[in-house]
């Protein structure tokens, strides 16, 4: 009995720690269940309020939205669905974002890549997914490789996937991953081509965060991204939550939740207000 209570206390502490330190990002819809999708073959996005977060890069009927489907640390999380290998959907934090044809791009930097220390998230793969067993929602740091925002051909990012770090992908459970200096990441863009090899080994997917920082000493951080799809052959559904990063000793954590329901005054409140107004009216007349 004591053990059970102690475990509950520990769980409560974890939940409190997250809720105290995390910024809450609410769904656009109230109380919950955003479901942003786009059937076309070019990417579209949608701002999540004025939080700096965006549903983005959504195409071929991929779906992303803060939803109650797989709640974590409260009533919601960021739900993803992809119906086919072509489907894609991301959620992204983009400072100073600009809308380019309905999709969003960062317009400012969060800091220098050399100061980037770690990032982490919780992710979930539903067992109904039929894509390769190694696939799960990925986490990316978005970069401008030369640090000059005016040149855009070197924009891209570094991607975390468990399969390149010796990890398995459990289903129907929330899984925590933290990416630090020794974690393997692979690249897209950055002016060096998709999945480029930057170190001495012939394999492209074994460059650590520290090696990437040494390779791009002038790079700046353009944001963070989590998502699914694009080349995932089959159906995927899952979620992410508790996205966090640390840059130069400053940590930011985000908990994705359903927006509070709009407040509707109860009948009693209306009556009191009406009575007060009537009294005021009588007094003014008197
Ligand atoms: Ca640049
Ligand atoms: Ca290599
Ligand atoms: Ca949540």
DSSP the chain: -HHHHHHHHHHHHHHHHHHHHSEEEE-SSSSS---EE--SSS-EEEE-TTSSEEEEEEETT-EEEEESSS--SSS-EEEEEE-STT-EEEEEE-TT-EEETTEEE--S-SEEGGGEEEEEEEEEE-TT--S-TT---EEEEEEETTS-TT--TTEEEEEE-GGGGT----SSSEEEEEE-TTSEEEEEETTS-TT---SSSS-TT-EEHHHHHHH-TT-EEEEEEEEEESS--S-EEEEEEEEEEEETTEEEEEEEEPPPPPP---HHHHHHHHHHHHHHHHHHH-
Q: Ligand 3 centre and the CA of 254: distance in Å? A: 8
> What pLDDT tens digit does each residue of the chain (286 aa) get?
334 344 444 444 444 445 457 999 999 998 779 999 999 999 999 999 999 999 999 999 999 999 999 999 999 999 999 999 999 999 999 999 999 999 999 999 999 999 999 999 999 999 999 999 999 999 999 999 999 999 999 999 999 999 999 999 999 999 999 999 999 999 999 999 999 999 999 999 999 999 999 999 999 999 999 999 988 999 999 999 999 999 999 999 999 999 988 777 666 555 555 555 554 454 544 4
Q: Which of 66, 149, 154, 62 is nearest to 103 (CA)?
A: 62
Domains and CATH numbers, the chain: 24-276 (2.60.120)
**How high is the pLDDT of residue 263?**
76
**How high is the pLDDT of residue 264?**
72
Q: Ligand 3 centre and the CA of 259: distance in Å? A: 11
**How high is the pLDDT of residue 74?**
96
Q: What are phi and psi of 176, to 5 degrees?
A: -100, 135
Cα 241–chain centre separation: 7
Closest-approaching ligand to the CA atom of 186: 2
Closest-approaching ligand to the CA atom of 32: 3
**How high is the pLDDT of residue 15?**
46
**How high is the pLDDT of residue 206?**
97
Residue 23: strand pairing partners? 254
Q: Which of 78, 71, 99 is nearest to 34 (CA)?
A: 78
Q: Which of 254, 241, 285, 237 is nearest to 87 (CA)?
A: 237
**How high is the pLDDT of residue 3?**
43
Closest-approaching ligand to the CA atom of 109: 1
Cα 129–chain centre separation: 20
Q: Collect residues with CB below 5 Å from ion ligand 1.
A: 144, 146, 148, 151, 154
Q: What is the pTM of this model?
A: 0.86
Q: Ligand 1 centre and the CA of 105: distance in Å? A: 13
- And the tokens for 204? 């492209």
The answer to whether residues 118 and 178 touch, using CB atoms and an 8 Å cutoff, is: yes
Q: What are phi and psi of 260, to 5 degrees?
A: -60, 145
């Amino acid at each position: 009995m004591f053990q059970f209570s102690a475990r509950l206390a520990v769980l409560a502490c974890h939940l409190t720690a997250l809720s105290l330190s995390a910024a809450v990002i609410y769904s656009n819809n109230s109380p919950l269940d955003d479901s942003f999708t786009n059937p076309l073959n070019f990417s579209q996005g949608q701002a999540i309020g004025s939080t700096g977060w965006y549903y983005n890069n959504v195409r071929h009927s991929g779906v992303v939205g803060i939803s109650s489907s797989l709640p974590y640390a409260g009533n919601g999380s960021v739900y993803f669905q992809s119906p086919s290998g072509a489907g894609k959907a991301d959620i992204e934090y983009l400072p100073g974002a600009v809308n380019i044809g309905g999709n969003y791009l960062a317009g400012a930097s969060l800091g220098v890549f050399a100061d980037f220390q770690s990032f982490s998230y919780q992710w979930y793969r539903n067992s109904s997914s039929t894509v390769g067993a190694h696939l799960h929602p990925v986490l990316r740091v978005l970069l401008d490789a030369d640090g000059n925002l005016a040149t855009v051909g070197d924009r891209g990012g570094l991607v975390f996937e468990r399969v390149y770090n010796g990890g398995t992908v459990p289903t129907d459970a929330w899984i925590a991953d933290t990416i630090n200096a020794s974690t393997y990441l692979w690249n897209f863009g950055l002016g060096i081509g998709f999945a480029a090899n930057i170190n001495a080994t012939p394999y492209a997917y074994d460059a650590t965060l520290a090696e990437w920082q040494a390779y791009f000493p002038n790079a700046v951080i353009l944001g963070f991204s989590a998502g699914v799809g694009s080349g995932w052959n089959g159906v995927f559904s899952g979620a992410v939550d508790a996205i966090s990063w640390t840059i130069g000793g400053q940590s930011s954590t985000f908990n994705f939740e359903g927006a509070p329901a709009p407040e509707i005054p109860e009948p009693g409140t209306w009556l009191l207000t009406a009575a007060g107004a009537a009294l005021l009216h009588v007094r003014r007349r008197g």
